Every structure is written in structure tokens, then in C-alpha cells.
Amino acid sequence: MAHVSDLIATDIEQYLKAHEHKSLLRFITCGSVDDGKSTLIGRLLYESKMLFEDQLAAVEADSKKFGTQGDQIDFALLVDGLAAEREQGITIDVAYRFFSTDKRKFIVADTPGHEQYTRNMVTGASTADVAILMVDARRGILTQTRRHSYLVSLLGIRHIVVAINKMDLVDYSEKVFRDIREDYTAFAAQIGLEDVSFIPLSAFRGDNIIEPSSAMPWYHGSTLMAYLETVEIDDARMQRAPFRLPVQWVNRPNLDFRGFAGQVASGVIRPGDRIRVQPSGRESTVARIVTHGGDLAQAVSGQSVTLTLADEIDISRGDVISTVEAPAEVADQFETTLVWMHDEPMLPGRPYLLKIGAKTVTATITDIKYQVNVNTLEHVAAKKLELNAIGVCNISLDRPIAFDAYRDNRDTGGFILVDRLSNNTVGAGLLHFALRRAHNIHLQHVDVDKVARATQKHQKSCVLWFTGLSGAGKSSIANLVEKKLHALGHHTYLLDGDNVRHGLNKDLGFTDADRVENIRRVAEVAKLMVDAGLIVLTAFISPFKSERRMARSLMGDDEFIEIFVDTPLEVAEQRDVKGLYKKARRGELKNFTGIDSPYEAPENPELRLTTPQLSLDAAADAVIATLRLRGVIAD
């Protein structure tokens, strides 16, 4: 390295010990494009003497090839590692860098400024204690400045530095600095930012980075590095919060040891303290706090430990161990703020996987209350959330979870949404509070259950889910199957797409969002009918795999039989009994499946009916045979 502590050469053990006990500050740089974020981080790395000689040589060579500062070193190249970033002179991905001073260790995330990479900015901000918001002194407060400020406020970062950069390009004008400070202070009050500091600097020239700038004698505040070395770290605040330990692993190396491992999210715990396990509510007492280096007298926020308890109680990965005096809440329905991070829009009613801590559950967005226009802070109505959109939504889970409001604890109040098919992360969310109905609504026990109702009818209840293009023959086959089942003395009900839209779903159109809601309602009705002991037949296009998977998840084992009426588009279009394809081809019918809206064919249906090769009667007989084979009806 260019320069490091002299202790490395004279007393390496003392150096390592001092380094181990330094506090760690995580911070981000954000703001609009080309405000100097990467240059600032490069300058901090350079000034803190955290660069190897070969790194310096490499960046000097790259500055001549990719740099924007003439013959001088372009510090941004120390951070902008992607080829596309260097070619365009912008930050695309989140870049993390480590450096340290004599007083503190730092991890900095350089986040992108372009609007289309807002999701990357959210990723970088999710663990930060401080946000450095870069403002170009020549341009002042911009739209993306406001966007990132809102996200910083939303994500609970409490300490903000407005770094008014490129002061050298405005002749170090005090008036420019004061005008920007006045504008931003007014905006910060609107979004609830309280701890805001303003520092005028030049990242390129190093003014007010490490040493006070002689070019700005009118500024008497802290340098940037001095601020970063002294600002309160969030871990210190979280140590004063109620104890929380999300269980990451049940440690059972032998029959004589059972411990619960995880990182303390907040608070302090000691042997003898009384704890409660959520969501079960069981209580016990901490017996030991075990670490690789031996037992501890106490554990605090940020430490990774294993707790053993005085009682043998059931605890699983994803549970939360809380203090008895102030336990985490438990609910399965919430109001949340959701940042959508995927190219495919978020549609209410579509199921996703929700991951909070180490726990994964199935979640459905039940309602978008409003979308936030981060440029104006206006609340606007929305039926779906597009990429980078931010909305306040109600969300429902398939089981209760332990949680805290995000404003109180980011670890137990923040979550991500994962697509069930692709396993891609599609959204990030913040829990606000449990919905009142989550506490008031409980399943009522009934003595006559599904099995009793079905047995009385001499059948097993199930749903036959016919799916396929419009004109494939779903309704015709389902209708004939029901007639055959009725003749055999079985109890059935047919839910047909057109018929349902005359009543239950008459308020829905044919947008992707409405199609998702259409299938969600039908699936819930089918579930009730299966519970009544019926054989339920549904004839819907149901074009999306996600919704068919959601419908399947509502049913018990072997209760969902997916029947793919596999008819090529050209055959279905030739039939066109209702004349819908012709209207769609003329542009008179929007969002028509197969024309301008996709159909996602089943990959592994329980039964595939290739209708061009099968007569109507043969297709119905194939369904009846499948029901006999699966034991739904007797031979």
C-alpha cells in the first residue's frame, strides 16, 4: 500500500487488536448522474492511504484511456469497475469499497444515479447508517436528488450529508452554497429528514475532504472525513432497542447440545434473561450465550451468537427470539411500502415468495392503496407497479410472522419479494403495521369437514382446472365431463369464464391486472366448493403460470388437476365461434390472449388434451378415466 499504520512493521498484534475494535460505519453516496459520487469515493480511498502501488499505477494508466480529467488522475475509475461504466462515465451497479482510518472502519456503497437503476440504489441503502447526497454546485437540487432523498428517508437512514460538490467550478461561491442549502432544507422538511449536514467540497481537488479548504474560509463546519469519523453508528442506537434475534440456524451437533444461532438484530441479552419465541409465543430463559471463542456474559446488536435455553421448546429457522418485556408483533396482514424492482409489473392478487430474515412465506398483494410520485410526493392511484415504482400496499401472507415496524427495526421490518417461478428478487418492502383484521379474524372450527361432505357424496372433492386458448374447447369439454359425472351420480359444479363474468367478476376487464384478480377470485370460490365436497370444474383461459400455481397452492394434496386443452393458435383462430380473434386482429379488442397478451402454457399438467386429434367425447372420457385412476370417483 502507499501508506499504512507503522504498527504493521513494529507490532502487528497490536495493530490487529486496534483494528478489530474499531467501529464500522456503512454509508452510501447517491444523487443525480455525474454529480461526482465515484470521484468522491476514489478521493477518500486515496486520502486514507488504502491503495496498493499497483492500483495507483493501474488507475493512472486507465485515466489516460478512460478518464475525464485530462492528464490528472480520474479517481472515479477506482470505483467504476464495469466496462460499460468506464465507457459511459456513469455508475450502473452498486460498488462496495472498504477503507479505514485510525478512528473507524468504513464500507461505502457507490450507488447509481440514473433513474432506471433506482432499484440498485435501494439495495445499497438498505444497510447504510449515513447517506452522502451529492449535489453539483452548478446545477443545484435536481429531480433525482429529490428521488434519492425520498428513498433515503423511506429506508430509514437517519444521518444525511448534503455534499455540495464541484465548488471549484463556481469559484467557491458562498452564495451558491447558501442557496442550495436553503432549497434543500425546505424539501427535507417535507419528507421528514431531520439530521441533515451541509458540506461544500470539491471531490476532484480534495477541498474539505480531509483538511479544511483554504479556498472556502467562510465555511467553519466539519470536513467530510471528520464527520464520518464521529457520526453515531446505527448499531449504537439499536443496542438500546428491545432484544431481537432472528434464528438463522438450529445448532444440533450432538444429542447433548441444542442452540439457536443468529445475529442479534437489536438490544442486549444475558444469561438468565427471560425470552419469548415468535410467532409461537412460547417462553423460556437464556442458559448460555455460546460463541467460537467461548461463552459470553452478554451479547449486543451486531454480534453473531448461539443461544441455549433452559427449556426444550420448539424453535425453527426463521423464528424470532424476543425479550418478554417488549416482544415482536405477530400478524399475517400488513400495510407496507413496496419498491418494485423488476421489468414485469407487480399485479395485485399474484402470489410471490416473501423473505423476511431467514423466514420465507407466500405473500399476495391484496390492494395498492396508492403509488408515490417521488418527484412531487403526490399520491396517485395505481392498478399495478412498474419497474422502480414505489407504492403503499396491503399484503397478505399464508401464515403469521414475527415483525417490527421498519422504522423501529430494519432487520425485522424489511423484506424482499421473490418470483415463485424464476426465483428472481422482484421487490423490496418495508412493513408499517399489522392490519386490524389480522388480529380479529380467526378460522372457525366446524364439526362437519371436507372429508365428511365428500364421503357422503361417494367421491373425493377436487378441482379440474381446464386451461387453454380462447376457442380451444375448454367449456365444451368441461360441460360434457360434468354431464357424464352427473349421470354417474356425482356432485359437481362448473365455473365457466363467461358465466362468472356476468356476476362475481363483472367489475373486471381484461388487462393483465384484471386477469390476475379474475383467477384469484375464481380460485378462492373453487376452494370453498372443494371444501363443500364437490368436484369443481373451471373453464378459464388462465394465461399466467403464476395464477395457476396460486390456485394449486390453495388446494390440498391431489385436489388440483390441471388439464391443458392444447390447441394450436391457428386452429383456435379458425374456430373463432365468438368472432373474438377477428376483432383482436383488427385492433378492436385489446389484451387478447394469443394476439397481444401472452399465454404461458403448462409445463407439467396432470392431463394434456390435444383437441385436433381428440373428439369431444374422447377428451371427456380421458378426463373421466383420469378421475378414476386418481381415486376421485370409483371404478
3-state helix, strand, coil in the chain (%, to 5): 30, 30, 40
Q: Where are the alpha helices (DSSP H) in 578-615?
A: 580-585
- Coil/strand/helix, residue 548: helix
Q: Consult the annotation and say whether 304 binds a ligand.
A: no
Q: Consult the annotation and say whether 38 binds a ligand.
A: yes
Q: Consult the annotation and say whether 11 binds a ligand.
A: no
Q: Consult the annotation and say whether 36 binds a ligand.
A: yes
307, β-bridge pairs: 260, 289
Q: Consult the annotation and say whether 166 binds a ligand.
A: yes
All cell numbers assigned to 513: 391486472
Q: How far apart are CA 400 and CA 426, in angstroms?
A: 22
Q: Which of 542, 553, 597, 615 is catalytic?
A: 542
Q: Consult the annotation and say whether 301 binds a ligand.
A: no
Q: Consult the annotation and say whether 427 binds a ligand.
A: no
- Judged on CB neighbours under 10 Å (0-12, 13-18, 19+), 321 is buried
Please give the order of strands across the beta sheet that includes 23-31.
95-100, 104-110, 23-31, 130-136, 159-165, 195-200
Q: Consult the annotation and say whether 514 binds a ligand.
A: no
Q: Consult the annotation and say whether 610 binds a ligand.
A: no
Q: Consult the annotation and say whether 342 binds a ligand.
A: no
- Do 311 and 284 meet the contact criterion of CB atoms below 8 Å apart? yes
Q: Consult the annotation and say whether 33 binds a ligand.
A: yes
Q: Consult the annotation and say whether 307 binds a ligand.
A: no
What is the DSSP-derived secondary structure letter of residue 597? B
All cell numbers assigned to 630: 386418481
Q: Consult the annotation and say whether 31 binds a ligand.
A: yes
609, β-bridge pairs: 565
Q: How far apart are CA 225 and CA 213, in angstroms?
A: 13
Q: How far apart are CA 488 and CA 509, in angstroms?
A: 37
Give 374's contacts (C-beta < 8 A, 6+ positions apart). Answer: 146, 147, 150, 151, 390
Active site residue 542: yes
Q: Consult the annotation and say whether 359 binds a ligand.
A: no
Q: Consult the annotation and say whether 474 binds a ligand.
A: yes
Q: Where are the alpha helices (DSSP H) in 363-509?
A: 410-413, 436-440, 450-456, 474-487, 497-500
Q: Consult the annotation and say whether 473 binds a ligand.
A: yes
**How does strand 304-309 pair with strand 283-290?**
antiparallel
- Taking CA 104 as the corner, what is the angle to CA 99 and CA 108, rounded to the nearest 5 degrees? 40
Q: Consult the annotation and say whether 411 binds a ligand.
A: no
Q: Consult the annotation and say whether 89 binds a ligand.
A: no
Q: Consult the annotation and say whether 175 binds a ligand.
A: no
**How does strand 390-403 pair with strand 359-373?**
antiparallel
Residue count of the chain: 635
Q: Consult the annotation and say whether 113 binds a ligand.
A: yes
Q: Consult the annotation and say whether 167 binds a ligand.
A: yes
Annotated binding site for ATP: 468-475
Residues labelled catalytic:
542
Annotated binding site: 31-38, 110-114, 165-168, 468-475
Annotated binding site for GTP: 31-38, 110-114, 165-168
